[in-house]
A and B are shown apart, each in its own frame.
Chain A
Amino acid sequence: MDSIIPQLLTGLAGASSLFLVASGLTIIFGVTRIVNFSHGSLMMLGAYIGWSILTRLPRDPEWFVLGIIATVLATALIGVLLEMVVLRRVYRAPELFQLLATFGVVLILQDVTLWIWGPVELPLPRSRWLRGFVEIAGNRFPFYDLILIFVGPVVLGLLWLVMNRTRWGTLVRAATLDREMVAALGVDQRLLFTSVFALGAGLAGLGGVLSLPNSSANLHIDLSVITDAFVVVVVGGLGSLPGAFVASLLIGILQAFGIVLVPKITLVLVFLVMAVVLVFRPNGLMGRPQAEAREATVAAPVVRAAPRELRILGGIALLLAVAAPFFVGDYYLTVLTDACVAIVFAASLHFMMGPGGMASFGHAAWFGIGAYGAGLLAQWLGAPMPIGLLAAPISAGIVAALFGWFVVRLSGVYLSMLTLAFAQIVWAISFQWVEVTGGDNGLLGLWPPEWARDPSVYYWMALILSVAVALLLRRALYAPYGYALRAARDSVTRAQSIGLDVARLRMVALIIAGAACGLSGALFAYAKGGVFPTYISIPHSVEALLMVLLGGLQTMTGPIIGALVYTGLADILMRSTDLWRLVLGTVIVLLVVAFPEGIAGAARRLWLRGREA
């Protein structure tokens, strides 16, 4: 029991850092309605910039404070740049495209940071006063952690004062509710948005530099922090500062005790707490139902069957695909097999996201569950490939049903953030449960049986399966079920008033999407000969989003085109440059700015020009 108090204090210190990041995320979301994926990257930059500044300054406390202030200002400035160069151009784009653009920024900042500071993690040499201890209730407690514990409430208090006692704060709160109206009342929105972004970025930078003495500046901060911040913001309630604070305390303490008591499943524990909170309070502890941000509404395009010309084009493409093994080499055959996998991966996400209206930031979870399902069966029971390919969609479907049970009632952004958190849990299990999953080394030796070992044969099999799945999904979307799903997306009130069970429709969509995605995971695993935790990584989830959004949400052909374009693009990039993240990120940002409705959507508009929708 001796460890309770120190552990509690450690938890409180952790909570402070969490709050600094989460508060910035929540403020930025409130006003701009952008879920800023790159918020973790800003914290990472804060850590690196802080390291560069602090290692050049004398080590006295007053210089330390000065260095922190300089870092915060520098990060805020980077935030301003980011807002002016990227985000300002995408405010009118749909929510998910904005998210994609901020993920593009994550990729760019990864490579920029790597290029400036190198791959080695940079610990801050701690001066004597930073290493000091304080005696509390008979325990020696790190002095620096005490400082951290005080920073959280102080920042909360300051933010509260700014938000409630200044004109700027009043304007920010008004813009959170209806930014168009604020503009019509004579307030310069740009200035407001930029200043909000500066504040949020500055808070992230503060979080980054304050984390230095206890850890280091490293390249993993961005994605691990953004996951934690999402969890905190979701548990606390989007847009609520006190909510973010309470949730930070809850999660911070949970993590501190979890590490000691159940080190392997701390992440699972965090997820369970979040699940419980959301079952009882679907909008988080202190959040309220999200009002849609007001924008001029443009009528949603009507989904109609593909025009004849497109069907013919599709037929030709399919014929070419079937004949491919006769005229391309083995290397391109593997790329084409990857493309088949990508089609199912993207089409399954499109199914729940387009017609279902449930955007997932963690689609790779189902991919990984399918792959591990097949891999584990092969590893422990020696199951052959056909059994594995069958088990993959079943296992992913079952987990999707369990997951769906409590998420289908959640709305928009909450659901999306939760999918990301869930994917991180699955990833953590695959990574940490070494005895079963092989950890970082993965499951190896997962090869197709003799008859399918020839790359051409395996490719044909993948082609047949992916075309079949895509056609089945399409068929369901044109059947009453698919229409009902779309109806529930278009208008929940109307759907309920004609007797549709919205929650059940969504649940089934999630199961179908999960199962189909699971199959693609297994197909991929057998093609590569193994299963690895990277299958479930955040970048992989974002790939799925990218494919769907590239292709466009409103057409059924979209995800297929997106999958093909993305696979081709990624192949070229990976082989031609080391800075592929930088290039890919830039391409993403440019695409979002240029085609806010996706490639297929833009093509459709050109095609329909002059005709009524």
Chain B
Amino acid sequence: MSVLVVQGLSKSFGGVQAVGDVSFAVAPGEMLALIGPNGAGKTTCFNMVGGQLRPDAGSVMLDGKPITGLGPRAIARHGVGRTFQITATFGSMTVRENVQMALLSHRQQIWQFWRPVAGRYVDEADALLARVGLEAQANRATGVLAYGDLKRLELAIALGNEPRLLLMDEPTAGMAPAERVGLMKLTRRLATERGVAVLFTEHDMDVVFDVSDRILVLNRGVLIAEGNGAAIRANPAVREIYLGTGATSGGH
């Protein structure tokens, strides 16, 4: 059964249709890439699934339960984890504390005014950090982390919520080519281990063709192609509007 089922999702801004009648599904452990030209509606799609935007029409189901139109907080509580294009972490905390916050929130222990945070769920937080390769940096300030490490931290925070679905908006933006594939391979392992469905947008074709199980292509708010890497690469319409000749993207 699919973790995420999206049906007939539509959204207009001031009379201009940004997303029109988009439907797709993601299975547990599957990595689904959403690609398309800038302004094709990828982010709008993402924000409707993540709760930042309310769809005009259509439905979003998570594990068979409707989550259409819920706010980002409620959707997070239903088991959707997120990483952001521009990393969002808690800058005034250490790396470990960032993960501890996710764990405390997931266990509904936020409304406590007496017992200090220090010492709570340390082992679990460290285990998650070890999983993304940040265990040595647990005590450092988040603000001094290298960019690639911040992305990993975001992943650890998202996992603290034990998500069923992970939404990753341009997860490798701004990273060096080698780090990009590393981060997505890590995501791949975590997704398989935990049966988490992953939906991500991406402009790096090396990453897209390397790690995704399936690819959706969006243009002007409409799905124009769907399939595995080989099928998408061979699709003339996709070449025309998005991939180009491949001269500057590694021959894809």
Contact = CB atoms under 8 A, between A and B. Distances in A.
Interface of A: 299-303, 305, 475-476, 478-484, 486-487, 489-491, 493-502, 505, 554, 612-613
B93 A483 contact: yes
A494 B82 CA distance: 8
B143 interface: yes
B90 A481 contact: no
Given A493-B88, A499-B76, A302 B115 contact: no
A490 B91 CA distance: 6
B130 to A, nearest CB: 20
A476 B113 contact: yes
B104 interface: yes
B92 A498 contact: no
Given A301-B141, A496-B72, A499-B161, A480 B104 contact: yes
B93 A487 contact: yes
A300 B92 contact: yes
B112 interface: yes
Contacts of A483: 93, 97, 100-101, 104, 117
Nearest to B116: A478
B93 A498 contact: no
A498 B106 CA distance: 7
13 contacts: A300-B91, A302-B93, A302-B143, A478-B116, A479-B112, A479-B117, A480-B109, A480-B111, A483-B93, A486-B93, A494-B89, A499-B106, A505-B110
Given A476-B114, A497-B81, 17 more contacts: A300-B92, A300-B143, A301-B143, A302-B92, A475-B113, A479-B116, A479-B117, A480-B109, A481-B110, A490-B92, A491-B91, A496-B71, A498-B102, A498-B157, A498-B160, A499-B76, A612-B144
B143 A501 contact: no
Give the one of A299, A502, A612 with max B CB within 10 A: A299
A601 to B, nearest CB: 13
Contact of B82 (A301, A475, A497): A497
A498 B143 contact: no
Contacts of A480: 104, 109-112, 115, 117, 120
Given A299-B91, A299-B143, A498 B105 contact: yes
Contacts of B94: 302
Question: SS class of chain A's interface: helix, strand, loop or mixed?
Answer: helix
B106 to A, nearest CB: 7
Given A491-B88, A494-B88, A498-B160, A479 B115 contact: yes
B189 interface: no
A484 B89 contact: no
Interface string B40-73: 0000000000100000000000000000000111
Nearest to A554: B92
A9 B108 CA distance: 58
Contacts of B82: 497
B157 A484 contact: no
A541 B30 CA distance: 56
Give the 3 A-B residue pairs with the shortest CB-CB distance, closest first. Answer: A299-B143, A494-B88, A300-B91
A484 B89 CA distance: 12
Interface residues of B, number: 43
A303 B97 CA distance: 11
A443 B71 CA distance: 48
Contacts of A299: 91, 141-144
A491 B90 contact: yes
B113 A481 contact: yes
Contacts of B73: 496, 499-502
Contacts of B114: 475-476, 479
B194 interface: no
Contact of B92 (A303, A497, A612): A303
Contact of A497 (B72, B100, B104, B120): B72
A493 B97 CA distance: 17
Contacts of A490: 89-93
A495 B76 CA distance: 10
B226 to A, nearest CB: 27
Contacts of B113: 475-476, 479, 481-482
A496 B76 contact: yes
Given A300-B92, A302-B94, A480-B109, A497 B144 contact: no
A594 to B, nearest CB: 24
Nearest to B112: A480
A498 B97 contact: no
A90 B90 CA distance: 27
Contacts of B100: 483
Contacts of B88: 491, 493-494, 497
A554 B91 CA distance: 12
B233 interface: no
Interface string B187-210: 000000000000000000000000
B140 interface: yes
B77 interface: yes
B89 to A, nearest CB: 6
B141 A302 contact: yes
B165 to A, nearest CB: 12
Nearest to B73: A496
A479 B110 CA distance: 8
A50 B115 CA distance: 62
A613 B93 CA distance: 10
A589 B144 CA distance: 32
Contact of A613 (B101, B143, B161): B143
A543 to B, nearest CB: 26
Interface string B97-135: 100111011100111111111101000000000000000
A94 to B, nearest CB: 14
A474 to B, nearest CB: 10
Given A479-B114, A479-B116, A499 B91 contact: no
B24 interface: no
Contact of B90 (A479, A486, A505, A613): A486
A554 B93 CA distance: 12
A475 B112 CA distance: 10
Contact of A484 (B81, B110, B144, B161): B110
A554 B141 CA distance: 14
Contacts of B111: 480-481
Nearest to B113: A476
Contacts of A493: 72, 84, 88
Nearest to B167: A497
Contacts of B76: 496-499
A478 B97 CA distance: 11
Contact of B141 (A305, A494, A501, A612): A612
Contacts of B72: 493, 496-497
Contacts of B50: 497
B90 A487 contact: yes
B56 to A, nearest CB: 21
Nearest to B97: A483
Contacts of B157: 494, 498
